[in-house]
Chain A
Amino acid sequence: MSELAYIRNFSIIAHIDHGKSTLADRFIQLCGGLTDREMEDQVLDSMDLERERGITIKAQSVALNFDSNDGHRYQLNLIDTPGHVDFSYEVSRSMAACEGALLVVDAVQGVEAQSVANCYTAIEQGLDVLPVLNKLDLPEADPDRVCTEIEEIIGLDASHAVLVSAKTGDGTRDLMEELIRFFPAPEGNRSGDLQALIIDSWFDSYLGVVSLVRVMHGRIKVKDRILIKATGRIHQVDAVGFFTPHREETVSLQAGEVGFVVAGIKDVKGAPVGDTITLASTPDVSSLPGFERVRPQVFAGMFTVKSQDFENFRDALAKLTLNDASLQYEPETSVALGFGFRCGFLGMLHMEIVQERIEREYNLDIITSAPTVIYEVVTKNGEVSQVDNPAQLPDPAVIMEMREPIVQANILVPQDYVGNILALCVERRGVQKDMQFVGKQVSITYELPMSEVVLDFFDRLKSVSKGYASLDYYFVRFSKADLVRLDVLINGDRIDALSLIVHRDNARHKGFALTKKMKELIPRQLFDVVLQAAIGSQIIASQKVKALRKNVTAKCYGGDITRKKKLLEKQKAGKKRMKQLGSVEIPQDAFLAVLKVDR
């Protein structure tokens, strides 16, 4: 337990690759949170997937004890924030628990759009932001230029920016001293009624629901009977404590502190993120403002390859949402793929991660249908409805108007790549709103159809700028557009899971590119497979996967048939992961061919 004056709660804002996790690791090491042997790289990214992909998905926290040169021991609570554009909503959650934020900027690459957006979120939430220039060990580091960018692009005073190298550890101790001086201590009335904010909740198979909370007032201790305001349910506290990053139990959490609470809650919905906890004895304590509910932006159907896996799939989704409240799903029935779920995701990365987690953690083979955004449809009788599934689009005869979602995209990019970025935005039907030159960077603002942004725009942006461009975007409005449904037919049958809503001007090209890509992805079979793209009854593109001429092993004698058997078994296992549509076998990735189409 630390006195309020000796607590600092802060998060780190940084673009991917700018060294946030490495810096966090240095802090942990300096404060002895882990022995060297335990010190795996990037401790805070605890999901396997996070570590593999080198990104942070879920908010995490770590409590560190730091002995300052001023002779006091400080409790520093570091709350991690995700760095990928798909997960920006998690950022505001992390910040609600903090008084300060470190803005970590790569001293070579300079400011990136995602950091700008997160930095504004922090400032709006009343946090003090301390700029940190990282990677000073690199010879190309240019702190002066980057400080100028921080001041001109973000409008943040960079005169007290701290220079560090998280990789070598240089400057990290000074940084900790500086953040103690720079960030205010939390405020709160420790003798008042308990009021704590749930920053995150996740399901642990041993403990049940674990909630990360920031105690605003009062204290919470083991055996307390607590009230979850939103559910009105009362639970008894089994344990409280900190992550150091080991889970360490304490007797209580006091106002100003950030730690975990376990209270025998079985379902993550029983401890909703953003909700307020108080004691059962003080039900009148007011609720904290909480967080805006995140809206999924990308929708896709998910189906099991084997129909008998449906029940397991339903369970898997239910379990997954215990830890990922942003994932939404409802039952969907596809003519081609049978029973499944229409799922809403924050973005494509989120979709990929969900699919990967289901396949890996639940051992199910999943087919994801072509992802789409939400469209607005106005019918001739004046009704406005939202459509998140191309198969559900009303008959074109009754549609008066279709509207697509438009986003405002803010892009930061070094001057050398401006041409490429503008060309990309034009290709994606963008309308330029603003362009400013700041230092070596250019700040570009475009309005773009969301459908052109969510799928692969970020990847394309990265590839046309050698990885330097960064992006932040948000929804602005629905706007009328000439949209059509592009259908895909396999051997004459329309496959609903492959339908897309596209702009009429792009339909022909898209139909051609999509069928061509599918032709590459679908293995040759015992008969010809004809792939067609159509708008209504009009076929606009056609490709044929020619039948195999034969498929037979020339030689087989007694001898050693083990290897031949293994080859057969491998071939067979590959088929098991394919979906049988009529007599045609379609591999999983062919359903997502639209993502692999070259423009």
Chain B
Amino acid sequence: MTNDNVETLEFDELPPLSLYIHIPWCIRKCPYCDFNSHAIDDPLPEDEYVNALMKDLSKDLHWVQDRDVCSIFFGGGTPSLFSPSTIHRILTGVGELLGVAKTVEITMEVNPGTVDRARLAGFRDAGVNRLSLGVQSFDDEKLAGLGRIHNGREAKRAIEASRDAGFTNFNLDLIHGLPGQTIEQALTDLRTAISFSPSHISWYQLTIEANTEFYSNPPQLPDEDLLWDISRCGRSLLLQQYDHYEVSAFCRPGSTALHNLNYWQFGDYLGIGAGAHGKITLLDQQSILRSWKTRLPLHYINADKSAGVRVLDAGDVPLEFMMNALRLSDGVTTRLYCQRTGLPPESIATFLRRARSRKLLRKGSRIQATQRGLRYLNNLLELV
């Protein structure tokens, strides 16, 4: 740690606030997924879950009095398994408990295998104004390998249905570096995605996470050289029409994901729903809290919602900030660092000096990784 002398945080203003709502069910669990998701067997307890969410939110309210949310995100799991009327009830309930900014961005994750035009229109009527479609690939064989419930044709239909339902602001999630994938296959997925003119593309390299089926039973992934070629070629293709603004996020100019951007800029967020995490700055206590909720859906519904709350150690704050902020191609200003961490610039002086001398951070007043720093971000973060 470079911030040995720092003991307390001092905040004089609060960052933007977001709300994350977790819907923990899927039709089936994908072998690469390490999120808190559970395959459904019975009809979904939608009503009970809505009630639980509202209770959960009410208990968190004292942390965010008089603050408006600037974004809401339904993540999962598969939020699109919930009916439009349930989503409507959730958003109405949220509106009764919390202030919501006029310009609020409300995103919902959608599994292409679970929706049609009417359902999507229903979500739109409920208030959702941005979709994130978990396409992952348009290649049937690759989709089957990922354990997805949809095929390429259904993915395209879901995108068209989204547009038909009136969504202009939508993200397509794509995964590359899939088992057996060639450069051409990866680029074909990208070209197909771009042909639908989404406002946003999240293009991730497949990562084998602990506690997944792929971890215990690893597939044969492309070698490192091929992965590198895929990521370089894919990036230049995307750059023709999209800004590369975060490690894996590309957008049409002006269409960043506000909700995710708030994470990366170390903003605040409430997290409600089974296994959801939150991060809140408290002015009266001059501290940052992290909260997490009960993971198992039935426990969450029937018993305690909160599973824990922890005050961040001042010593951990710089690393947590950098883990997020340095992912952004444009980085952040030193002022934003001070505002969001409650720490003085000196707390990262050593880090900045060392990282700059290694050409991992740019010189100048911004805190911004070089191309090399973005490529070796984990090595850069070691220096914090």
Please state if A552 and B277 are interface contacts (CB–CB under 8 Å): no
Given the complex, which residues of B lie within 8 Å of A556, measured CB to CB?
Answer: 247, 323-324, 327
Instruction: Assess whether A565 is interfacial by the CB under 8 Å rule.
Output: yes
Find residues 547-586 in chain A having any chain B CB closer than 8 Å to their own CB: 548-561, 563-565, 568, 571-572, 575, 583
Instruction: Assess whether A1 is interfacial by the CB under 8 Å rule.
Output: no
Please state if A568 and B263 are interface contacts (CB–CB under 8 Å): no
Given the complex, which residues of A lie within 8 Å of B207, measured CB to CB?
Answer: 553-555
Instruction: Assess whether A526 is interfacial by the CB under 8 Å rule.
Output: yes
A-B contact pairs, 17 of them (CB 8 A): A526-B372, A549-B227, A550-B231, A551-B375, A552-B376, A553-B207, A553-B377, A554-B247, A555-B207, A556-B324, A557-B260, A558-B18, A558-B262, A558-B271, A563-B210, A568-B378, A575-B382
A residues neighboring B (CB under 8 Å): 526, 548-561, 563-565, 568, 571-572, 575, 583
Q: Which residue of A lies closest to B292 (CB)?
A: A560
Q: How far is the CA of A559 from the CA of B260 in the complex (A)?
A: 11
Find residues 354-384 in chain B having any chain A CB closer than 8 Å to their own CB: 358, 372, 374-379, 381-382
Please state if B323 and A526 are interface contacts (CB–CB under 8 Å): no
Q: How far is the CA of A566 from the CA of B381 in the complex (A)?
A: 12
Given the complex, which residues of A lie within 8 Å of B224, measured CB to CB?
Answer: 549
| 3 closest A-B pairs by CB | A558-B263, A549-B228, A552-B377
Instruction: Assess whether B66 is interfacial by the CB under 8 Å rule.
Output: no
Please state if A552 and B320 are interface contacts (CB–CB under 8 Å): no
Please state if B382 and A558 are interface contacts (CB–CB under 8 Å): no
Instruction: Assess whether B319 is interfacial by the CB under 8 Å rule.
Output: yes
For the A-B complex with A559-B277, A565-B319 known, give 15 more contacts whose Cβ atoms are closer than 8 Å: A550-B228, A550-B376, A551-B376, A551-B379, A553-B377, A554-B248, A555-B248, A556-B327, A558-B269, A558-B277, A559-B271, A561-B320, A561-B324, A571-B382, A583-B358
A165–chain B nearest beta-carbon distance, Å: 46
Instruction: Assess whether B41 is interfacial by the CB under 8 Å rule.
Output: no
Find residues 249-302 in chain B having any chain A CB closer than 8 Å to their own CB: 260, 262-263, 269, 271, 277, 279, 292
Q: How far is the CA of A563 from the CA of B263 in the complex (A)?
A: 16
Q: Which residue of B lies closest to A559 (CB)?
A: B277
Please state if B379 and A526 are interface contacts (CB–CB under 8 Å): yes
B258–chain A nearest beta-carbon distance, Å: 13
Q: How far is the CA of A553 from the CA of B269 in the complex (A)?
A: 22
Q: How far is the CA of A356 from the CA of B155 in the complex (A)?
A: 59
Please state if A572 and B382 are interface contacts (CB–CB under 8 Å): yes
Instruction: Assess whether B225 is interfacial by the CB under 8 Å rule.
Output: yes
Q: Which residue of B lies closest to A574 (CB)?
A: B382
B357–chain A nearest beta-carbon distance, Å: 10
Given the complex, which residues of B lie within 8 Å of A548, measured CB to CB?
Answer: 376
Please state if A552 and B319 are interface contacts (CB–CB under 8 Å): no
A549, A551, A555, A559: the one within 8 Å of B225 (CB): A549
Given the complex, which residues of B lie within 8 Å of A583, measured CB to CB?
Answer: 358
Tally of chain B residues near chain A (CB < 8 A): 38
Q: Which residue of B lies closest to A549 (CB)?
A: B228
Q: How far is the CA of A542 from the CA of B123 in the complex (A)?
A: 63
Interface of B, helix, strand, loop or mixed by DSSP: helix
Mask: chain B, 71-90; 1 = CB below 8 Å from A; 0 = not:
00000000000000000000
Q: Which residue of B lies closest to A525 (CB)?
A: B379
Instruction: Assess whether B205 is interfacial by the CB under 8 Å rule.
Output: yes
Known: A549-B227, A555-B204, A558-B269. A564 touches B379 (CB 8 A): no
Q: How far is the CA of A565 from the CA of B206 in the complex (A)?
A: 19
Known: A526-B376, A558-B269, A568-B382. A552 touches B323 (CB 8 A): no
Instruction: Assess whether B20 is interfacial by the CB under 8 Å rule.
Output: yes
Q: How far is the CA of A526 from the CA of B210 in the complex (A)?
A: 25
Find residues 321-364 in chain B having any chain A CB closer than 8 Å to their own CB: 323-324, 327, 358
**Most chain A beta-carbon neighbours within 10 Å: one of B205, B207, B225, B376:** B376
B335–chain A nearest beta-carbon distance, Å: 21
Given the complex, which residues of A lie within 8 Å of B247, measured CB to CB?
Answer: 552-554, 556
Given the complex, which residues of B lie within 8 Å of A554, measured CB to CB?
Answer: 204-207, 247-248
Q: How far is the CA of A227 from the CA of B73 in the complex (A)?
A: 84
Please state if B375 and A565 are interface contacts (CB–CB under 8 Å): no
A346–chain B nearest beta-carbon distance, Å: 40
Given the complex, which residues of B lie within 8 Å of A575, measured CB to CB?
Answer: 382
Given the complex, which residues of A lie within 8 Å of B358, measured CB to CB?
Answer: 583
A549, A551, A558, A563: the one within 8 Å of B378 (CB): A551
Given the complex, which residues of B lie within 8 Å of A559, measured CB to CB?
Answer: 20, 271, 277
B98–chain A nearest beta-carbon distance, Å: 17
Given the complex, which residues of B lie within 8 Å of A564, measured CB to CB?
Answer: 323
Q: How far is the CA of A366 from the CA of B316 in the complex (A)?
A: 28
Given the complex, which residues of A lie within 8 Å of B228, measured CB to CB?
Answer: 549-550
B207–chain A nearest beta-carbon distance, Å: 5
Q: How far is the CA of A572 from the CA of B225 in the complex (A)?
A: 25
Find residues 213-262 in chain B having any chain A CB closer than 8 Å to their own CB: 224-225, 227-228, 231, 247-248, 260, 262
B40–chain A nearest beta-carbon distance, Å: 22
Q: Which residue of A lies closest to B275 (CB)?
A: A560
**Most chain A beta-carbon neighbours within 10 Å: one of B20, B316, B375:** B375
Known: A549-B227, A552-B247. A561 touches B323 (CB 8 A): yes
Please state if B20 and A558 are interface contacts (CB–CB under 8 Å): yes
Q: How far is the CA of A218 from the CA of B64 in the complex (A)?
A: 86
Q: How far is the CA of A571 from the CA of B381 in the complex (A)?
A: 10
A464–chain B nearest beta-carbon distance, Å: 36
B319, B324, B327, B377: the one within 8 Å of A551 (CB): B377
Q: How far is the CA of A525 from the CA of B376 in the complex (A)?
A: 10
Given the complex, which residues of B lie within 8 Å of A568, measured CB to CB?
Answer: 319, 323, 378, 381-382
Q: How far is the CA of A86 from the CA of B136 in the complex (A)?
A: 62
Q: Which residue of A lies closest to B375 (CB)?
A: A550
Please state if A553 and B378 are interface contacts (CB–CB under 8 Å): yes
A226–chain B nearest beta-carbon distance, Å: 51
Please state if B277 and A571 are interface contacts (CB–CB under 8 Å): no
Please state if A560 and B277 are interface contacts (CB–CB under 8 Å): yes
Q: How far is the CA of A556 from the CA of B209 in the complex (A)?
A: 13
A555–chain B nearest beta-carbon distance, Å: 6
Q: How far is the CA of A559 from the CA of B259 in the complex (A)?
A: 12
Q: How far is the CA of A561 from the CA of B269 in the complex (A)?
A: 14
Q: How far is the CA of A331 from the CA of B62 in the complex (A)?
A: 63
Please state if B378 and A552 are interface contacts (CB–CB under 8 Å): yes
B169–chain A nearest beta-carbon distance, Å: 19
Q: How far is the CA of A565 from the CA of B207 in the complex (A)?
A: 16
**Most chain A beta-carbon neighbours within 10 Å: one of B231, B372, B382:** B382
Known: A552-B247, A575-B382. A558 touches B376 (CB 8 A): no
Known: A551-B377, A552-B375, A565-B319. A557 touches B382 (CB 8 A): no
Mask: chain B, 27-50; 1 = CB below 8 Å from A; 0 = not:
000000000000000000000000
